[in-house]
Amino acid sequence: MSDSANTVVVIGGGPAGIAAAACVAENGASTVLIDDNPRLGGQIWRSGGKIPQAKEAGHWLNRFMRSGAKLQCGTRIVDRLGTKSLLAESDRGIQRVDYSQLILATGARERLLPFPGWTIPNVVAAGGLQALVKGGAPIAGKRVAIAGSGPLLLAVATYLRLQGAVIVLIAEQAPWSRLVRFSAKLKSSPHKLWQAILMGVHLRGVRFKSSCWPIAARGESVLEQVEFQSKQGRFSVACDYLACGFGLIPNLELPRLIGCEVHNGFVAVDEWQQTSIDDVYCAGEPTGIGGIDSALCAGQIAGFATVGRKEKARGLFPARTRGKKFEETLAFTFALRPELRQLCQPETVVCRCEDVTYERLQPMTSWREAKLQTRCGMGACQGRTCGAVAEFLWHWQLASARPPVFPARVESLAGKTLTLEK
C-alpha cells in the first residue's frame, strides 16, 4: 500500500464501514475500505435480487463512491504482521496493509441454535436465505417458514415475499408483550416506525406467531416440514425452506487478534469509538447490536475522529445515545428464552464442521476442554457457529483468537504471492 503513513484503513463494507470511509475521504484523508464480499454493502445492504436498494443504502453508497475513498472487495484480513500492519488475502494474492489508523467495522453474523434436524439441507439462517437469494438462488414459489428472533425475521420475510416466496409462517420466540412494547418504542423514531409500517404492508396476511420456536426439522434428504412449539401447543408446517436465526453476534475475531479489549461480549470503545489500542477504532455491530442507524452513527463518529473533526463527531453523540438505547431495547425484547437450551437430543449435532453431538459435549466443563477432547470448534469455521451455541447452552467462555482470522492459503501465510494455476 502506498503512502501508508497517512492511510486510514477501514475493514468491513457494511453501513458502519461505508459511513466511516466516506467521512474520512470527504475530509481529504487517504482511506481504503477492505471487504470480503464481491460487492460493497455488507450483510444488511447486500446487493442483488430484483428489488432496488433502499434509499438510505443508495445514498450512502453514492456518497462513498463520490468521496474518493478507495475500495478493495474480495479481500480478507487474515493476520496481523506488526504494530500497524495487517496481512490481507484475496484470490489474486496477498498484500501487506499498513495503516496510520484502523477502523474495524466487521459487523455481525447470525446466531444459529441446534435442534433435531437443523442440519438438513434447506434449513438455513434467516439472513442467510436472503443472502443466498440475493446471490441468485431461486425462491419464487417456494414455501418458506421463518423462525428465530429479532427484527431481521420481518425484514427477511418482506424481502423474500417480494421475490415471490410463499411465507408460510413467521415464528418469533419473544413473547407478544415484549413485541408490543418494542413497537410502542418505535414511535420515538419516525424512521424506524416508517420501516415497520412498510413491512406490515408487505407482510399482510402472513401468519405470525410469537412465543413460538422450531423444535424439529424433518425430511428425507431435504427439508419437508418443521415442527414448532407455541403457547397453544405443538404443530407442524410443511415448507421448502426454514430460514432460522436467533439474533446477531458480533464478529470479534479480528478485533481480538489485534488485541482490542472486549467487555460483555463487545469491543470496548471510548466516546470517539477508539478501542483499547491506540489508533484502532471500532464501529457498528462489534460494539453493540443496534442495527443500521447505530452503525451509521458510530461509523461517522469514528471517521470524523480519525481526521480530527471532533466537533462533527460530537454532533452525532445524541444520535449515538439514542442508538445505544435502541440496542438495549433490542436486547431486552429479543432476549432468548431458556426453553431454547432444551431443544437438543443426545444425537443432535452441535459442531457442524466436526459432527460433534450434544451428548459428547454435555459432560465437558469448558470450551477448551470440549475442543481438545471432542474436536468441537476445530473445524473450518473455528467455532464461529458452534462457539456461539456453546456460549448459549453452557455459558462457556471462548478462548482467545488465533490467526488466521479466516482460512488462508499456506502460501499466503508464508508471505508468498499466488501460484497461478491451470
Partner 1 sequence: MASGFDIVIVGAGIVGAACAAELAREGMRVAVVDRDIIGGGATAAGMGHIVVMDDSEAQFALTRYSRRLWRDLHSGLPPQAEYETPGTIWVAADESEMQEVRRKHEYYASRGVAAEILDSKMLAEAEPNLRPGLAGGLLVPDDAVVYPPVVARFLLERERGVSVIAGSAVRAITNDGVALEDGTRISAAKIVNAAGDASPNLTAGVRVAPRKGHLVITDRYPGFVRHQLVELGYLKSAHTHSAESVAFNVQPRRTGQILIGSSRQYGVTNADVDPAIVSAMLSRALQYMPGIGTLSAIRCWTGFRASTPDKLPLIGPAPGTDHVYLATGHEGLGITTSLATAKLLASQITGREPEIAVTPYLPARVMDGEKHA
Partner 2 sequence: MPNLIQVTINGQAVTVPGGITVAAAVLLSGKSGIHRSPSGALRGPVCGMGVCFECRVTVNGRAHVRSCLTTCEAGMEISADE
Return residues touching partner 1 (CB under 8 A): 79-81, 87, 365-366, 368-369, 372-375, 378-380, 382, 402-404, 407-411, 413-416, 419, 421
Q: Which does 3 bind (CB under 5 to 8 A by kind): partner 1, partner 2, none?
A: none
Residue number, 264 or 400, with CB nearest to partner 1: 400
The smaller minimum CB distance to partner 2, of residues 13 and 323, is found at 13
Give the one entry of partner 2, partner 1, none that residue 422 binds, where binding means its C-beta sits below a cut-off of 5 to 8 angstroms depending on kind.
Answer: partner 2
* Binding partner at 122 among partner 2, partner 1, none, C-beta below 5 to 8 Å by kind: partner 2
Identify which of 246, 223, 233 has the alpha carbon closest to the alpha carbon of residue 168.
223
**8 A C-beta contact, residue 12 and residue 37:** no
Give the single-character DSSP code of 419.
Answer: P
Residue 410 contact partner, candidates partner 2, partner 1, none, CB within 5 to 8 A by sort of partner: partner 1
Q: At what angle do helices 190-202 and 151-162 cross, to 10 degrees?
A: 50
- The DSSP symbol for 170 reads E
Q: Least CB distance from residue 266 to partner 2, whole Å?
A: 18
**Choice between 227 and 354, CB closer to partner 1:** 354
The partner in contact with residue 5, picked from partner 1, partner 2, none with C-beta cut-offs of 5 to 8 angstroms by kind, is none
Residue 318 contact among partner 2, partner 1, none, beta carbon within 5 to 8 Å by kind: none
By a kind-dependent CB cut-off of 5 to 8 A, residue 43 interacts, out of partner 1, partner 2, none, with partner 2
Please state the closest distance from residue 372 (CB atom) to partner 1, in A: 4
How far is the C-alpha of 114 from the C-alpha of 112, rounded, in Å? 7
Q: Tell me which of partner 1, partner 2, none is bound by residue 80, counting a contact when its beta carbon lies within the kind-specific cut-off of 5 to 8 angstroms.
A: partner 1
Residues at the site binding partner 2, with contacts judged by CB under 8 A: 36-38, 43, 109-110, 112, 119, 121-125, 127-132, 135-138, 221-222, 251, 349, 352-355, 379-381, 384-385, 406-407, 421-422
Nine cell digits for residue 253: 475475531
Which of 80/109 has CB closer to partner 2?
Answer: 109
Cα distance between residue 300 and residue 305, in whole Å: 8
Query: What CA–CA distance (Å, rounded) separates 148 from 161?
Result: 18
Strands (E), 1-153: 8-11, 31-34, 70-72, 75-82, 85-90, 93-98, 101-104, 108-110, 123-124, 143-149
Phi-psi group of 114: left, alpha or beta (phi > 0 → left; psi -120 to 50 → alpha; rest → beta): beta
Write down the least CB distance from residue 46 to partner 2, Å: 8
Q: Which helix (H) or strand (E) holds 320?
A: helix 317-333
Give the residue carrying C-alpha cell 462457539.
Answer: 387
Which of 79/240 has CB closer to partner 1? 79
3-class secondary structure, 314? helix
Phi then psi dihedrals of residue 34, to 5 deg:
-115, 130
- Chain-centroid distance, C-alpha 355: 24
Nearer to partner 1, 143 or 375 (CB): 375
d(CA 169, CA 151): 15
Smallest gap from residue 262 Cβ to partner 2 (A): 18
- Closer to partner 2 by Cβ: residue 122 or 275: 122
Q: Tell me whether residue 24 or residue 386 sits nearer to partner 2 (CB atom).
A: 386
